[in-house]
A and B are shown apart, each in its own frame.
Chain A
Amino acid sequence: MIILLIGAGTYLLRAGSLVLGSRIKWSHQSKEWLSYVSPAVLGALLGPLLLLNEGQWVPMKDNMILVAAIPTIAVAWLTRRLLLTVLAGILFFALANYFM
């Protein structure tokens, strides 16, 4: 049920905006705002993922996810490659698990 709704909603967002976008011209301001939605939501996803565990603050020295995230950011920044970043991230996380 959840999957059905998400799939339908995602498709409607994609198709609706694509079909509309091929007809009307979006105002510069709304386009500009939309361009900041992605980083804002990604940030909002990452914050709790990196810093919290079930609603509790994870102390920095025990936070393996955060430790692995730092070199992962460096790889993303330097290479801008999706697959490479994900693979490097998993490797960093495995190393953090092994050594901490």
Chain B
Amino acid sequence: MSRQDKIALALRDALPIVLAYFPLSITFGVLAAASGMPWNMSIFSSIWIYSGGAQFMVISMLETATAPATIVVTILLVNMRHVLYGATMGPHLAHWREPLKWLAALGLTDESFVVTSNRAAAGERLTPSYYLTFALAAYGSWIAGTIVGAGIGGIVTSETASVLSFALPALFLALLFGGERSFPHLLSACTGAALATLAGLMHLGGVGLIIGGLAGATVGQMLGRRSKRIRG
């Protein structure tokens, strides 16, 4: 495949993500403005963090005046999932030059991981021109949407903003129930939900998320092993 073909393929693969990111990041910009975040900060967070879930969580946690350390720890724990993505994608980029790998890491989001890892699993050799075109298209869409959202944020009523705030739980639900959903995966989600809710009732703040995440993952793994043994 020529370089042109690679770039065309990358743009075709990126299209659904570009289409999804644009309104989602507009929503982010609007909600950020409604919660009182200055417009330049919300655009900066899209450029610098570039992780939808994390950015939405920052807004909601700043609104409830969570301690800064808790915010950072909680969100980095949530973003631990990127370690899995990196570990999975890494072997496919083994033939790349070192600086390009560091560049590629910028664009490693939930959605682009799903698409590019499927490409790689189908036996496609991931080239820098394919991967970086793909990542850049998604990144550009995310930033452009944030700018639009931050721009119109001031004129959106608080009622509309509160309806739009359901975008965050909906995004989490979409990632959870649109992803891997074997019984062990769902049980680890339920364990996490139960422990975090319990911690919330006891006013333990962000700790519940950490405990829920670690315990949920362990329960899922244990059950996954057992069910494999029974089947195996």
Contact = CB atoms under 8 A, between A and B. Distances in A.
Interface string A1-21: 111111101110111111111
Interface of A is mostly: helix
21 contacts: A2-B62, A3-B48, A18-B108, A19-B101, A38-B81, A39-B185, A40-B192, A43-B190, A44-B193, A45-B78, A47-B192, A48-B208, A49-B168, A52-B201, A69-B169, A72-B169, A77-B178, A82-B174, A85-B170, A85-B171, A85-B174
The 5 closest A-B pairs by CB, nearest first: A21-B90, A40-B216, A17-B86, A89-B170, A44-B212
A14 B108 contact: yes
Contacts of A76: 173-174, 176-178
A41 B58 contact: no
Interface of B: 16, 19-20, 23-24, 41, 44-45, 48-51, 53-54, 57-58, 62, 64, 68, 71-72, 75-91, 93-94, 96, 98, 101-102, 104-106, 108, 111, 162-164, 166-181, 184-186, 188-197, 199-201, 203, 208-209, 212-221, 224-225
Nearest to B204: A55
A33 interface: yes
Contacts of A47: 192-197, 200, 212
Contacts of B57: 45
A62 interface: no
Contact of B224 (A36, A42, A52, A93): A36
Given A21-B91, A42-B172, A54-B64, A10 B76 contact: yes
Contacts of B93: 18, 22
Contacts, number: 300
Interface centre among B53, B84, B101 (most CB of A within 10 A): B84
Nearest to B75: A6
A86 B178 CA distance: 12
A49 B173 CA distance: 11
Contacts of B50: 7, 10
B54 A10 contact: yes
Given A10-B51, A13-B86, A89-B170, A36 B221 contact: yes
Contact of B179 (A3, A38, A73): A38
A42 B105 CA distance: 22
A43 B176 contact: yes
B178 A85 contact: yes
Contact of A14 (B20, B68, B86, B194): B86
A27 B150 CA distance: 44
Contacts of A94: 163
A100 interface: no
